[in-house]
């Protein structure tokens, strides 16, 4: 597979990880088809610079008739990234979560079988581990605690049972350029925007809270080499347990804000999993240098993108 020009479909390719992946695939010369219902942005804005080089299809993975409109196969690779994201949204919109992440995944698998697919790559989630013992290993006992955690796991199971060649990557907290702030979106862009655009306190929920962050370019680098993980379920993470309090302090320093803006709050009732870190030994056996961008560097690049995208005010000298 490596070295050969590939025909690739990305579901959810207008989203954060998908748009970064689309660019990386184009750089290596692949032919890229994207299907996305634009439920996050309302437009394929994050693909603006490459839209003329990809085949973009405005469609919904829940609707088989939309998938039937996609260019016919076979596809060397199908990256199934479209999802209703993430835990908090799934509590507010459980039906959307179920229909997109479960039924939508079944439709994508049917499409893949019909079109022909060399490898189906599924973006699973570390949320699915729930409160399993740390560090989280691929064979840890899984105990999902939110609808999203459950439906992302269901998606994994459908993929494994599909009869298609597959690779499942359980992504931990991914951050970086292309991830906009907003309701139900990720902590890092939302914390940066709050610091840059408001005088509100920066709330951290729970003194014990930790997460395992990986920079989006590092995640994309693994996805590009997905064939190495054929038939496997793999964590994709740095393996570094970062306290959220420490992260908040770094963000304050990055935007030159006083520590007094930090406000420690009790954990949110729905967020029953306070600590999360991956065991990355299986990942490193296949991808020795995976997910190694230092957090400091990744945060700088994230803030730079947020500035360029207008989510942060221009830097003052």
Cβ-based burial of 95 (10 A; exposed 0-12, middle 13-18, buried ≥19): exposed
89 binds ligand NAD (CB under 6 A): no
70 binds ligand NAD (CB under 6 A): no
| Ramachandran angles phi, psi of 312, nearest 5° | -130, 145
The nearest distance, CB 191 to ligand NAD, in angstroms, is 14
147 binds ligand NAD (CB under 6 A): no
Task: Choose which of 6, 8, 9, 14 interacts with ligand NAD (CB under 6 A).
Answer: 14
Task: Read off the DSSP letter of residue 267.
Answer: P
Helix/strand/coil for 41: coil
The nearest distance, CB 25 to ligand NAD, in angstroms, is 15
Q: Find the residue with minimal CB distance to ligand NAD.
A: 15
Site for ligand NAD in 151-210 (CB under 6 A): 152, 171, 173-174, 186
Cα distances from 177 to residues 50, 208, 290, 304, in angstroms, run 16, 27, 18, 8
Candidates 17, 61, 53; CA nearest to 35 is 61
Residues 6+ apart with CB under 8 A from 298: 175, 176, 213, 215
Task: Choose which of 10, 22, 25, 36 interacts with ligand NAD (CB under 6 A).
Answer: 36
The nearest distance, CB 101 to ligand NAD, in angstroms, is 7
Alpha-carbon gap, residue 173 to 161, rounded angstroms: 26
The nearest distance, CB 261 to ligand NAD, in angstroms, is 25
Task: Choose which of 61, 67, 226, 244 interacts with ligand NAD (CB under 6 A).
Answer: 61
**Can you give the binding site for ligand NAD, defined by CB under 6 A?**
12, 14-18, 36-40, 60-62, 81-85, 100, 104, 123, 125, 152, 171, 173-174, 186
């Amino acid at each position: 597979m490596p070295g050969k020009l590939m025909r690739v479909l990305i579901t959810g390719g207008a989203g954060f990880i998908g748009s970064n992946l689309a660019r990386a695939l184009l750089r290596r010369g692949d032919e890229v088809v994207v299907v996305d219902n634009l439920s996050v942005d309302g437009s394929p804005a994050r693909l603006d610079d490459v839209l003329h080089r990809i085949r973009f299809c405005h469609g919904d993975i829940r609707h088989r008739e939309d998938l039937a409109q996609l260019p016919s196969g076979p596809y060397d690779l199908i990256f199934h990234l479209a999802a209703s994201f993430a835990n908090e949204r799934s509590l507010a919109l459980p039906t959307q979560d179920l229909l997109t992440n479960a039924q939508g995944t079944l439709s994508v698998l049917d499409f893949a079988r019909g079109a022909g697919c060399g490898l189906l790559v599924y973006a699973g989630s570390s949320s699915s581990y729930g409160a399993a013992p740390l560090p989280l290993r691929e064979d840890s006992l899984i105990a999902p605690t939110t609808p999203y955690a459950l439906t992302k796991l269901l998606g994994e199971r459908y993929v494994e049972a599909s009869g298609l060649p597959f690779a499942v990557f359980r992504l931990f907290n991914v951050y970086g350029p292309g991830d906009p702030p907003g309701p139900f979106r990720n902590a890092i862009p939302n914390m940066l925007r709050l610091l840059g655009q408001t005088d509100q306190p920066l709330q951290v929920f729970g003194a014990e809270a930790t997460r395992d962050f990986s920079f989006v370019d590092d995640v994309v680098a693994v996805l590009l080499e997905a064939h190495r993980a054929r038939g496997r379920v793999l964590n994709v993470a740095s393996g570094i347990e970062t306290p959220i309090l420490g992260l908040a302090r770094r963000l304050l320093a990055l935007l030159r804000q006083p520590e007094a803006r930090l406000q420690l709050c009790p954990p949110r009732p729905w967020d029953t999993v306070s600590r999360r870190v991956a065991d990355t030994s299986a990942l490193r056996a296949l991808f020795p240098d995976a997910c190694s961008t230092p957090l400091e560097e990744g945060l700088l690049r994230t803030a730079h993108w947020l500035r360029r995208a207008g989510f942060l005010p221009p830097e003052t000298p």
